[in-house]
Structure formats: structure tokens, C-alpha cells
Chain A
Amino acid sequence: MRHMTRLLGAAVLSATALTSAPVHAEGGTLVIASSQVPRHLNGAVQSGIATAVPSTQIFASPLRYDENWEPQPYLAESWQVSDDGMSVTLNLVQDATFHDGEPVTSEDVAFSIMTTKENHPFKSMFAPVESIETPDAHTAVIKLSQPHPALLLALSPALAPVLPKHVFGDGQDPKSHPANSDPVGSGPFMLEEFTAGEAIVLKKNPDFFIDGRPKLDEIIVRIIKDPSALLIAMENGEADMYPFMAGSQEIRRLEGADHLEITNEGYAAVGPLNWLAFNTANEKLSDVRVRRAIAYALDREFITNALHRGVSQPQRGPIIESSPFFTMPDETYDTDLDKANALMEEAGYGDGMELTIDFIPGPKEQQQSVAEYLKSQLKKIGIALTVRAAPDFPTWAGRVGGHDFELTMDIVFNWGDPVIGVHRTYLSDNIRKGVIWSNTQQYSNARVDELLAQAAVETDMDKRKALYAEFQQIIAQDLPLYTINALPYHTAYDKKLVNPPKGIWGTMHPMDRVEWSE
């Protein structure tokens, strides 16, 4: 029956559909609309949501996570962390095979983690992994140089895809391996067709190692770069799901569509932060009083409520507020123009100063709008702010990565564990010129380095939380950047979808349980 109504829907929107009767088998097709263009489909050597969504369908990983941050069996049916925290043993399922029929073995797991360690931009994920032993075909023992509590989260589908060694282990550079665009995995779906920049067609893997899954026959990721076209596609049923939607107008508009459900669940592990970064090496901004003055001049509530029309949440620290590691700092810089002006006076800029702000060209509401708002707001404390637009992403990345900026708006993800997505921004040994999303603020504080180093190896959850709490207090004081809000990522999906992806990784997670209702 569902097919009939869906067909009718299609017929109304497209006259051509009248002549057609596309035959869907039992499970049906899910069309995911995306504005993000993946470079390729291999999440082992590429970060970012664009690759992660298809990569997690194609590649299985040792573990997967439920809605409560609890690890669940996936390719590993069980796992043990040694008491000293220096090794993790994975016991793999027996009957898993790659899409080409080859069995998944511990060799593949070892190869994959080492490949990811060497080639993935997130060095901290597997940095402590020294070696991986493979006592038998279905046992892999990860040996660590130090305890690494973030490891289990790093074994998630989005971060640790298990690659077939017989394909990727042929000696070619994994970063540009041809199979990245024509991958063979062991996940619930296999690649049917990949038109770079246009569409990814994934077909059900009939030999998936979890019986009875996946439910769907087909997932098509359709890339539509034009936001209005994308909305139209969602409204008229050309597409069934639109994840990572962050524009208030988009969200509000699709909320008006009767057949769609809108949710902000599914982004807990992403931890997308929108912040204002200071170049602390800049003469004017090296004075913490100036940075604090700017923070006091801003109004988070105005940004989230007025600029973002209430769809986004304020963010008052470097770790996403929904994370268990978040601690509300004592100083949250609630708007206080008098204090701001006093600080400017104190810093010797009573006569005002000139500053320039950059922003990522793209998500305008999160970046350009805020920058423009800052301009009018900072005028009130005597700062003449010039908004410097970049024509494209590489230009912005070149300026910020090259430390050629004063202020910039930026969007950075937490990526689950602070070790993966948070530390990189604050560690003084991660000041790397030319590398975007490193410590481009050039912030350096020995105590912070020390705290982060301890937190990275602390296996006791409470102690670890305490370390991060102190870290968050210091950051609030030193203010190398001012966090504004969490990106209001929402997913719109057809109400007839059962088990929509609302886990901590959202759509960056195998959609083997998703299905169409009657």
C-alpha cells in the first residue's frame, strides 16, 4: 500500500511519473538529500560528515554506539579492556564477509586501524596504538603505549571503518587509493554507483553479517548544493531525509511540511560548535582584556534567539554542553557593555581600535550573519570591525591556517571524545602553520597542556571529568576563543520511516534498522 501512495505522490509532482511504475522490492528506497559533497567514500582517510554518511553504510567497524553513549557489538561480538588500560582485545564475529565475498579477519582490523592512524587527519584517535596483534583470524589485540579511554569511541563506524586488506593493502597510498571511490566493505549496503558530486547509490548487502538486515533495498544519497532546490525536493517527496540541516529558514520551512518529521537528535557525538576565535599572537588580541571585552560585548541569547530564530542552543565552553564532560564555567561572559568598555579602557584602547573578522563562506546564518552582528555590537565598545569576506573555502582556510587573521568565525566539531575533537584546538604542540582546525589561535598554556595530557590517559570517568572541568575553567579565563552556540543540526525525514537515525552519531551510523512503515 505504501508503494501506491508514494507512487501517487511522485505522480503529482512529476508528470512523467504518470507513465512509470518503478518496481521496488520489499524494502524500498531511501533518498537522502545532502548539500555536502564527499571527496570519496572511505572514512578511514577522510574526516567530515559528507564521507562519513556513506562510509558508515559501506564499511562496518568493530563497535557501534546506542543512544546512551554505550558501546554495542558490531564486527566485534565482544571486547575486553585490560585492567591497566594498555590493551584492548576484540573478538570478531565468525561469519562476516566483505562485499566481494572474502571473510573479515583480524588481519583486516589490524590493517585498518593502523592505516587510519597513519592517514586520518585526527592523529589523536589512534596515536597511542603501538601495534595490533592477531593471535587468530577472529581476535585482534590492540596494544597501547598509554591508557587511551577515547579508543572505544574511536572504534565507531564513523571513525574506524574496517577496510579489506586484500584491496587497500596493495601498496598504493591509502589517501588516494582508487578503491576510496569504489570501495568494498562489510557494512549493510554496498556501492552500486558513485557519481562524484552528484549521487551515491547504495544497494542492500544480501550477505550482511547481521541476519534480517538491512531492511531497506537501496539508499540513494542525492547531492543538491542549492538550498532552495533541496528544500523543494524534500517538500515534494523527491528526497526522504535531509540530515545536517542548520538553517533556521530551512528548519522552519520543513516543519511546515505535513509528511515530514523534524528532529535535532542524532548529533550528540558530532558536537558541532560555532565560535569566535582570536589570534592570540596578534598584538592587539594578545591582551586577554581585549578578548574579554569583546566577549562581554556579545549576546549569545540574541544570536541564538534572533539571528538563529531560536533553533540553536547557546554554548558556553569548549566541550559541547550535551557531553558528559561538559562543566559550566564560572565565567560565561553574560553581556555587560560597561564592563567591556572598562576593560578596553584598562587595556589602553579607550580611543578604540580597528579589527578585521573573517568567516567561513557557506553556512551564512552561523558565520556571516554573526560576523555582521559582531560588527554592530563591537562598535559600542569602540572597535571598528571590518568584515572580510573570502570568496571560497580555500581562501578562508589559507588565511586562518596561515595565521593571517585577527578574528575569525569558525565551526569545529567535538567528534565524540574530547581527545579527538577538543584537544587539537588548545594543545600548544598543535600550533601548526598551514593546518586548518589545529591550534590556529596559537594559544599556549602549560597547565592546559598538562591537564589535557592527563585527561587523555585517565580511565576513571570521574577523575577524567574533573580534569576537563579545570580545563574548561581555565579556557573561560584565558579565552582563546569565545564559543557562541552549538550548530542547530536537524534531520528532516519522512514520517513513514521507522527507526530513523537518532543515535549519537545520527546518519554517520549504519542504517540497517531503518525501514518504511506500511
Chain B
Amino acid sequence: MSTSFILRRLGYGLLLMLGVVVLNFLLIRLAPGDPAVVIAGEMGGATEEMLESIREEYGLNKPVLVQLWIYVSGVAQGNLGESFFFNQPVSKLIAQRIGPTILLVISAQLLSILIGVFLGVIAARKPNGLMSGFVTVFATIGYAVPVFWTGIMLIILFASALPIFPVEGMQSVKLRDAPFFTQAVDVAHHLVLPAFTLAIIYLAQYARLSRASMLEVLGSDYIRTARAKGASERSVLFRHALRNAALPILTVAGLQFGNLISGALLVETVFNWPGMGRLAFESILRRDYPTIMGVLFFASAMVVVANLLTDISYRWADPRLRGRS
């Protein structure tokens, strides 16, 4: 795999993100409403003089294109501006929250791929078997359940009936001085329900997809070749077939990443998870435009990186793509 390929993809990703920045900036600035009034409202009220000084302070009295230039050149230098609501730089707010979001999204992604693919492979072995039926039904159900509703149902269940998992936040505040290992276990404990809630819909999709993909691969000539060699069923399934069936799964995993971030937004809101999604949601309710733009920027960056990783792993998984661009 060539570095030039990665660099080209990265450069292209940056270009996409520049587009994201410009589009969002223009959208937000052209929309009706005076951000200064919003800021003043958050302070608890204001006079005209205060409104004017707020406009001055946040550069809201300059022409839109000048504001755009200031914003874009700021972003290029890593400065995402100041939050309208919090008295803090947006980059700091995001830095505090991107970790929990990545933790949640990656856990959910791994959970859904591992379990989903395993179920799918098992199901593909007997296309008419019980397991296969279960996977098909489960996949359709998993796809149809609203993710926020699953979360709420789990909270109802685990808050009262079966209180074995915490239903809120990422950490017990009272353990904040505890040793690292204890804290890690505590975070993992808090992670179970949100990650599972987020994973369930994708888990179902991966199960269904890998079942279909495996069935297709299992009908191919090279699987017959493997069997003709005398390869065991397990080797046929997991060595010969899965490597090939993994290609469409990888594609979908890459494409799903954006959706996963959207799902994380809902899950974070339901479980009070201290991540970027909840920050985005609350910022939207507060009309905290710089923060919204910052989160959109970082979320798109995550998607760009995820797509790049998908491309790279795709090339690793499929030798036919190597050495091409």
C-alpha cells in the first residue's frame, strides 16, 4: 500500500471537511435570528449597550464573508472559536468529550461486528436452520427498533427491575480518586448498556449482511475447491469463506460509521453519556452555533478517518485492489 494513496485520500478528506466548514458557516449565518440576543438571553437578560458589546466581542457585526474568512482561517490554525454558551473555546469543549464518544462508538462498532458476523456465519452454515431463521427475524427487528427507545426500555428495566448496570453517565463521581484499574472497570461497567443499545441495530444488520454474504461466497467455486481439498467445515467457513465475505461487511462498516455517530447522539442523550453527541444536541437547543459547527467539523473528521481506515483495510483484505488507486 502506497503512502501516496493515503496522502491523497487524506488531502481529499481535508477538502471535504473544508466544504463542511464553509457550508455550515453559511447556513448558520444566513438563518434568521440574532446570535447576540441568544447570548444575552443566556446571561440572564441584557440592555442594548450590552447587546452591542456582545456583537463586537463575537465579531457578529462584521460582514458575513469577513466572518467566514476569520472562521475558516481560525479553523486552519486549530481555533474553532468561542462557544456562545460556555465561556470556553469550542476546541476545549470538544477535547473533553471526543474521548467518551470515540469509546462509545468504537465499542459499539466492535460489539456489533464481532457478534453480528459470528451470528451471520453460524446462520449461513444452515440456510434453512433455526439459527438462520433467528438471525433473519432478529435482523429485521433490530433494524426496526428506534435506538432511543431501546435505551429507554433498558433504563426502565435496569433502573428498577434488575439494577445491575448503572444507567447514567460514564463514571461514578465518587470513584474519581480511585486507582486507574478501578476507574477502568467502572467505566466499562457504565459502558455496557449504551454500547449495547447502540450496537443492537448494527449488530442485526451485520448478522443479516454476513449471512447473505457468506451464503453467496459459500456457493462460489473456490469454496468447492477448498472442500475438494478436504478442508474441514470450520476452515471452510472461517478461513476460506469469511475472508471473502468480509469485503462487503467492511464496506458497510465504513459507510455505517456516519450513521453510528448519529446513533451515538441519541444514545448519549438517553444515557447522559458525556460525549460530543450530547454536546451537539444541547448546543443546538441553546443555539450555540460555534459549538455546533465545531462538533460537525469533528464528527465529519471522524467519518473521513473512518473511511480512510476502511479503504486501507479493504486493500489489506482484498489483494485484487492492491497496487491500484
What A residues does B159 contact at CB under 8 A?
228, 232
What A residues does B271 contact at CB under 8 A?
229
Q: In the complex, are the beta carbons of A175 and B189 less than 8 A apart?
A: no
User: Contacts A197-B86, A228-B159 given: A394-B38 contact, CB under 8 Å?
Assistant: yes
What A residues does B169 contact at CB under 8 A?
222, 224, 229
Q: Which residue of A lies closest to B279 (CB)?
A: A197
User: Contacts A173-B53, A197-B279, A229-B168 given: A20-B182 contact, CB under 8 Å?
Assistant: yes
Q: In the complex, are the beta carbons of A197 and B282 less than 8 A apart?
A: yes
Q: Mark A106-129, 1 if CB is under 8 A from B, else 0.
A: 000000000000010111000000
Q: Mark A215-234, 1 if CB is under 8 A from B, else 0.
A: 00000101011101100110
Q: In the complex, are the beta carbons of A19 and B182 less than 8 A apart?
A: yes
User: Contacts A16-B172, A398-B33 given: A175-B166 contact, CB under 8 Å?
Assistant: no
User: Contacts A14-B189, A392-B285, A435-B47 given: A39-B272 contact, CB under 8 Å?
Assistant: no
CB distance from B40 to the nearest CB of A (A): 7
What A residues does B179 contact at CB under 8 A?
20
What A residues does B285 contact at CB under 8 A?
391-394
Q: In the complex, are the beta carbons of A16 and B182 less than 8 A apart?
A: yes
What B residues does A39 contact at CB under 8 A?
42-43, 85-87
B286 within 8 A of A: yes
Residue of A19, A31, A173, A232 near B174 (CB, 8 A) is A31
CB distance from B30 to the nearest CB of A (A): 17
CB distance from B48 to the nearest CB of A (A): 7
A10 within 8 A of B: yes
Q: In the complex, are the beta carbons of A199 and B173 less than 8 A apart?
A: yes
What B residues does A37 contact at CB under 8 A?
282
Q: In the complex, are the beta carbons of A46 and B45 less than 8 A apart?
A: no
A164 within 8 A of B: no
Q: In the complex, are the beta carbons of B272 and A226 less than 8 A apart?
A: yes
Residue of A13, A119, A424 near B163 (CB, 8 A) is A13
Complex alpha-carbon distance, A21 and B37, angstroms: 49
What B residues does A23 contact at CB under 8 A?
177
Q: In the complex, are the beta carbons of B286 and A392 less than 8 A apart?
A: yes
What B residues does A121 contact at CB under 8 A?
40, 43-46, 50
What A residues does B166 contact at CB under 8 A?
13-14
Complex alpha-carbon distance, A195 and B274, angstroms: 10
Q: Is the interface of B mostly helix, strand, loop or mixed?
A: helix
Within B267-314, which residues are at the interface with A (CB < 8 Å)?
270-272, 274, 279, 282, 284-287
Q: In the complex, are the beta carbons of A19 and B54 less than 8 A apart?
A: no
B214 within 8 A of A: no
What B residues does A416 contact at CB under 8 A?
none
Q: In the complex, are the beta carbons of A175 and B54 less than 8 A apart?
A: yes
Complex alpha-carbon distance, A17 and B183, angstroms: 9
Complex alpha-carbon distance, A23 and B185, angstroms: 18
Complex alpha-carbon distance, A438 and B272, angstroms: 34
CB distance from A216 to the nearest CB of B (A): 14
CB distance from A50 to the nearest CB of B (A): 10
| Stretch in A177-185, A273-281, A343-351, A450-458 touching the partner | A177-185
Q: In the complex, are the beta carbons of A181 and B86 less than 8 A apart?
A: yes
Q: In the complex, are the beta carbons of B164 and A15 less than 8 A apart?
A: yes
Q: In the complex, are the beta carbons of A14 and B54 less than 8 A apart?
A: no
Complex alpha-carbon distance, A22 and B175, angstroms: 6
A29 within 8 A of B: yes
Within B170-188, which residues are at the interface with A (CB < 8 Å)?
172-179, 181-182, 185-186
What B residues does A228 contact at CB under 8 A?
155, 159
Residue of A175, A196, A437 near B45 (CB, 8 A) is A437
A436 within 8 A of B: yes
Residue of A178, A201, A398 near B37 (CB, 8 A) is A398
CB distance from A80 to the nearest CB of B (A): 31
CB distance from B23 to the nearest CB of A (A): 22
Q: Mark A169-197, 1 if CB is under 8 A from B, else 0.
A: 00001011110110000000000000111
What B residues does A177 contact at CB under 8 A?
87
CB distance from B204 to the nearest CB of A (A): 26
Q: In the complex, are the beta carbons of B175 and A17 less than 8 A apart?
A: yes
B317 within 8 A of A: no
A238 within 8 A of B: yes
Q: In the complex, are the beta carbons of B93 and A196 less than 8 A apart?
A: yes
Complex alpha-carbon distance, A316 and B178, angstroms: 52
Complex alpha-carbon distance, A14 and B186, angstroms: 8
B88 within 8 A of A: yes
What A residues does B189 contact at CB under 8 A?
14-16
Q: In the complex, are the beta carbons of A29 and B41 less than 8 A apart?
A: no
Q: Which residue of B lies closest to A177 (CB)?
A: B87
User: Contacts A47-B43, A393-B286 given: A196-B172 contact, CB under 8 Å?
Assistant: no
What A residues does B48 contact at CB under 8 A?
432, 434
CB distance from A503 to the nearest CB of B (A): 22
Q: In the complex, are the beta carbons of B274 and A176 less than 8 A apart?
A: no
Q: Which residue of B lies closest to A47 (CB)?
A: B44
A448 within 8 A of B: no
A198 within 8 A of B: yes
A401 within 8 A of B: yes
CB distance from B38 to the nearest CB of A (A): 5
CB distance from A425 to the nearest CB of B (A): 11
Complex alpha-carbon distance, A47 and B43, angstroms: 6
Q: In the complex, are the beta carbons of B173 and A180 less than 8 A apart?
A: no
Residue of B38, B50, B88, B177 near A181 (CB, 8 A) is B88
Residue of B88, B167, B175 near A20 (CB, 8 A) is B175
CB distance from B201 to the nearest CB of A (A): 21
What B residues does A198 contact at CB under 8 A?
96, 274
What B residues does A432 contact at CB under 8 A?
47-48
A511 within 8 A of B: no
A352 within 8 A of B: no
CB distance from A123 to the nearest CB of B (A): 7
A397 within 8 A of B: yes
CB distance from A244 to the nearest CB of B (A): 15
Complex alpha-carbon distance, A225 and B169, angstroms: 10
Q: In the complex, are the beta carbons of A20 and B57 less than 8 A apart?
A: no
What A residues does B284 contact at CB under 8 A?
392
Complex alpha-carbon distance, A195 and B88, angstroms: 10
Complex alpha-carbon distance, A397 and B51, angstroms: 15
> A10, A232, A391: which has the most chain B beta carbons within 10 Å?
A232
User: Contacts A19-B181, A22-B178, A435-B45 given: A31-B173 contact, CB under 8 Å?
Assistant: yes
Q: Mark B228-265, 1 if CB is under 8 A from A, else 0.
A: 00000000000000000000000000000000000000
Q: Mark B71-90, 1 if CB is under 8 A from A, else 0.
A: 00000000000110111100
What A residues does B57 contact at CB under 8 A?
173, 175-176
**Other CB < 8 Å A-B pairs besides A39-B42, A392-B285, A394-B287, 8 of them?**
A16-B186, A39-B43, A40-B88, A47-B45, A176-B87, A222-B173, A229-B271, A238-B172
**Can you offer 26 A-B residue contacts whose CB atoms are under 8 A?**
A14-B189, A15-B164, A17-B186, A19-B181, A20-B179, A22-B178, A29-B174, A40-B87, A45-B43, A121-B40, A121-B50, A195-B96, A196-B88, A197-B86, A201-B176, A220-B176, A224-B168, A225-B272, A229-B168, A232-B159, A233-B168, A393-B286, A394-B286, A394-B287, A397-B41, A434-B40
B contacts, CB < 8 Å to A: 33-34, 37-38, 40-48, 50-51, 53-54, 57, 82-83, 85-88, 92-93, 96, 155, 159, 163-164, 166-169, 172-179, 181-182, 185-186, 189, 270-272, 274, 279, 282, 284-287
